[in-house]
Amino acid sequence: MPTKAGFNNEKYLKEQTSAILERVKKFDNKLYLEFGGKIIFDYHASRVLPGFDPNVKMRLLQQLKDKADILLCIYAGDIERRKVRADFGITYDVDALKLIDDLRDRKIDVAAVVITRFENQPSARIFKNKLERRGITVYTHGFTKGYPTNVDLIVSDDGYGANPYIKTKKPLVIVTGPGPGSGKLATCLSQLYHEHKNGVTAGYSKFETFPIWSIPLKHPVNVAYEAATADLKDFNLIDSFHLEARNEKAINYNRDMEVFPVLKRILERITGAESIYQSPTDMGVNRAGFGIVDDAAVREAAKQEIIRRYFRSSCEFLMGFVDKDTVQRVELLMEEMGLSPKDRAVVQPARDAAFEARRIKKGNKGVFCGAAIELPDGSIITGKNSPLMHASSSLVLNAIKKLAEIPDKIHLLSPDVIDSIGHLKSDILNTRSVSLDLEETLIALSISTRTNPTVQLALDKLTELKGCEVHMTHIPAPGDEAGLRMLGVNLTTDPDFSTKSLFVS
């Protein structure tokens, strides 16, 4: 059924902006803010906090842009090994370029890009050249000598001082980057070292949405964060430093807890004064918990996200991206929450569709794929593969026909169109499969609007699929995955391949 809104963006925006500006005042009007998570298109947050605007943090930046400079960090090793951002299917270096463009579209400029732990890696060097030749300022930072144990070396000209100082003009410096491990913290601390050497009393703080410190440890939203970071082996715990210092329970995660004692010593060594922070929670300016207005709706949405993460980790294991331990960690979280894969409404209908395809074509060889989508009104539509089209293509055609109230017996694509594409693929392009994937189906639909007005009625309904839940019994082919991503659905799949071929074009 449609998810009930449980989050108030305006309340969150007001509280978060106020908290950041108050923190700036504590540090002689120069604050380095480590900006974790996604600045734009934060779909994880919008899934676990229904009503959360995935671009609300960009709105926050637009409110602060006259007071803030932005530094964009990217780890050289991520560029070199072409690490991929799963939700967009693009590499981290491309994601950095996209973020710069997205910020520019909103009249926000990036002051500089920082390539961290740079060791003259070939791909990182090419990335640096590409940016500089487009007029973007680029700095390179090496690995910090002595980190994390030798504080004397870390806070010295051979440690943070070995990195070049990045010039900024505004009182707030937002330090962001694609994914974890991008070097945001090291960049902040390096800058603090230089600022204090220059007589500027700058400070450090952190803005990260998850885990949410002000809700319980085992709240489904916080458990969903653990599921999302299972490959990093993150886990949440009560901030013992905060409990001791403030006599208040707050939630943080293991990496922040582990690094806090060292980080506190480093900050005190840099500033020459006792830190104002007594806990990792103190360091944060995170007000997401105060934007929750319907806890029951948020809990249910977060449980669904945990199930999605189970399916994703299972598929990533099959494809070799993660180890078995990652899958097992999510399975344990599922058990802890009392959840089953079948608690996702579209899972069983998709499997039933695949079974029905197998029953109809009994004796035929091949893989039988099923797919299901939950429409905004709560109804579930299914699709299955055939010699003519992939299961995702069948699913989308059935869904938009339902939304447009077009009778099932009316075909949106004529046999001539399908035959022509099949001829192109088999006889000219020599592809293994002639059936239409979703990308090809959407293009064929668009062309068909010229001769069939009914198709236009159906095509106009594609936007209503955004945010709908979809499950498939097999990992989608590239053309299906790209099409589903463009439609903006929340996709899960069973961990199985749709073909035995090792190379899928």
Q: What is the domain count for the chain? A: 2
Tokens of 218: 């085992």
DSSP H or E run through 453:
helix 453-459
Q: Is residue 321 in a domain? A: no
SS3 call for 381: strand
Which one has a higher pLDDT value, 69 or 359? 69
Residues in the chain: 505
Q: Is residue 406 in a domain? A: yes
- This prediction's pTM: 0.90
Q: Is residue 420 in a domain? A: yes
- Scored b (16 or more CB within 10 A) or e, 128-166 reads beebeeeebebbbbeebebbeeebeebbbeebbeebeeb
Q: Is residue 384 in a domain? A: yes
Instruction: Scan for tokens 């839940």, then name that residue.
Output: 469
Q: What is the pLDDT of residues 82-132, one digit of tens each?
A: 877 766 778 888 989 999 999 999 899 899 999 999 999 999 999 999 999
Sign of CA dihedral 334, 335, 337, 342: positive
**CATH number reported for the structural domain that contains residue 61 in this entry:** 3.10.630.10
Q: How confident is the model at residue 293 (pLDDT cuts 50, 70, 90)?
A: very high
Domain that holds residue 101: 9-209
DSSP state of 461: T
Q: Is residue 288 in a domain? A: no
**CATH number reported for the structural domain that contains residue 444 in this entry:** 3.40.140.40
Tokens of 138: 């680029």
Among 159, 179, 209, the domain-final residue is 209
Question: For residues 448 and 413, is the Cβ–Cβ distance under 8 A?
Answer: yes
How far is Cα 315 from Cα 282, in angstroms, rounded to an integer? Answer: 38
Among 209, 230, 246, the domain-final residue is 209
Q: Is residue 361 in a domain? A: yes
DSSP state of 263: H
Q: How confident is the model at residue 36 (pLDDT cuts 50, 70, 90)?
A: confident
Among 209, 225, 244, the domain-final residue is 209
CA nearest to 457, candidates 417, 415, 489, 412: 412
* Domain match, 171 and 24 both: yes
Q: Is residue 217 in a domain? A: no
How far is Cα 194 from Cα 191, in angstroms, rounded to an integer? Answer: 5
How far is Cα 124 from Cα 493, in angstroms, rounded to an integer? Answer: 34
Q: Which segment of 82-86, 113-117, 174-178, 448-452 scores lowest on mean pLDDT?
A: 82-86
Question: For residues 205 and 283, is the Cβ–Cβ distance under 8 A?
Answer: yes
Q: What is the pLDDT of residues 1-27, one digit of tens each?
A: 556 789 999 999 999 999 999 998 888
